[in-house]
Chains A and B, each alone.
Chain A
Amino acid sequence: MGEPIIELRGLYKTFGTGDGEVRALSDINITVDAGDIFGIIGLSGAGKSTLVRCINLLERPTRGEVIVNGQSMTALSDKELRRARQSISMIFQSFNLLMQRTALENICFPMELAGVRREDARARARELLEVVDLPDKADAYPVQLSGGQKQRVAIARALASDPRVLLCDEATSALDPKTTRSILALLQELNRKLGVTVVVITHEMRVVEQICNRVAILERGVVQETGLVSDVFNNPQSAAARVLLRGAAADEDGEEAAKDVQ
């Protein structure tokens, strides 16, 4: 694939000090190439959310290097960091839309931050609503939208700054299976059409299976295994990968059983 766009080198993150010290991440080494849809999977408490927040420095790593778009993020000043963040977008499990703004105004938000002219921003926001397939929801407030629609608005907002990287923190975990599939399909389409590199944090194997080309398996703050999704799925090397795959198989059985009952 393309050249590396995100490189994590010898990353450590500890919270607290002294006796209360908790090590969330240990010696993380991950390279994401431009154009990848990279999955980071692990059970809750594995450190996935901390890891993804180290990429845009919402969390500052205790040790190690974070290189995004060729820039060493930890070396940037506050102002340079804010600038760098404009090309690394992020979407969240809880959508995190501004509740007092309409869908259109939410999408305008990152453009306002960047100083884009109001009319230009609104025109671009309307285009983005088309991209996420919500052209008629411009004037709706978040409270009037369903979970899937809110995430689509959040994705449109994330695209407004023309990012090179899109970080997804459990972006589908609050959604039902059908909506999850449609949101994942949208992410895949954006990856193909716009060439946005996507990093997906999830605890569901199905998510990785549906859209990722590469995956890292995280357990207790340590990367257990990285590789092509097909390799990891067909021939898991680590115990953690096997546990996650077994869990996914059990889920599928459960869904089959549920279908049978219906």
Chain B
Amino acid sequence: MFSEADITLLQNIVHNELASALWQTVYMTFLPTIIAFAVGLPLGVLLVIGEEGGIRPLPKPLMRTLNVIINLLRSVPFLILLVVVLPVSRFIVGTTVGSPAIIFPLAIAAFPFVARLVETSIREVDKGVVEAAQAMGASPFQIIWKVLIPEAKPALISNFTVALITIFGYGAMAGIVGGGGIGAIAVNYGYYRRKLLVLYLCVILMIILVQLFQTIGNTVTKKTDKRLR
């Protein structure tokens, strides 16, 4: 079914490129997710506390602008956004090719999505608990740090896993425009040169990685949630 040349190629890739590609995939997934959370977490919290009737209502035009920006960024498909934002990478990283160049576009593509995930997690916190904290004289800042985020922690961790896996998928797609990692190997050998054996290997590795992320995410979520005892 596969020629000897195919198998030799596969062996070469496994020996020479795979370890580095795996590592690139991992940091191309984690770094943008962390950056996206650094921006998306405060933004998501703001979306909840700033609305009318929230614990610290903000001016309506500001809230509307925030929502419009998030929706705009979320309506652009990732690959197109990537092409639009790549020049920013040249500015920050100095290049538009390879894994480091992909990190910022990935983070920019993901943070609005993360902001929405955080928003839903924070909204799940029981309003009665927030009211109790207000009745005890908690300031908005104290409510955010001592009530909203700790009470939403299991949901936040679970949504971190969702974001991680989505960004992992984005990162693989970025192989098409010169990103690195397993996605790039799949695109370069499997798609452009029709080396199916290499493609299958990449697909299997991706499945294993996603399973791993999800299992770890689920375990940590369950361990964190004190409502499950």
Contacts and interface: CB of A to CB of B under 8 A. Distances in A.
A179 interface: no
Nearest to B139: A82
Contact of B136 (A100, A109, A141): A109
A122 to B, nearest CB: 16
Nearest to B128: A96
A195 interface: no
A101 B153 CA distance: 12
A110 B142 CA distance: 11
Interface residues on B, range: 20 to 34
B131 A96 contact: yes
B150 A98 contact: yes
Interface string B110-144: 00000000000000001011011111111100100
A96 B226 contact: no
Contact of B135 (A58, A100, A143, A144): A58
A96 B146 contact: no
Nearest to A160: B136
Interface string B148-174: 001101100000000000000000000
B10 interface: no
B151 A98 contact: yes
Interface in B172-228: 225-228
A144 B131 CA distance: 23
Nearest to B127: A96
Given A82-B139, A96-B126, A113-B137, A144 B132 contact: no
Nearest to A94: B128
A114 B142 CA distance: 11
Given A96-B129, A96-B131, A113-B142, A85 B150 contact: no
Contacts of A82: 137-139
Nearest to A93: B128
Contacts of B15: none
29 contacts: A56-B135, A58-B131, A58-B134, A82-B137, A84-B137, A85-B134, A85-B137, A86-B136, A90-B136, A94-B128, A98-B129, A98-B150, A99-B126, A100-B151, A100-B153, A100-B154, A100-B226, A100-B227, A101-B150, A101-B226, A109-B136, A109-B146, A112-B146, A113-B138, A113-B146, A141-B229, A143-B228, A143-B229, A161-B137
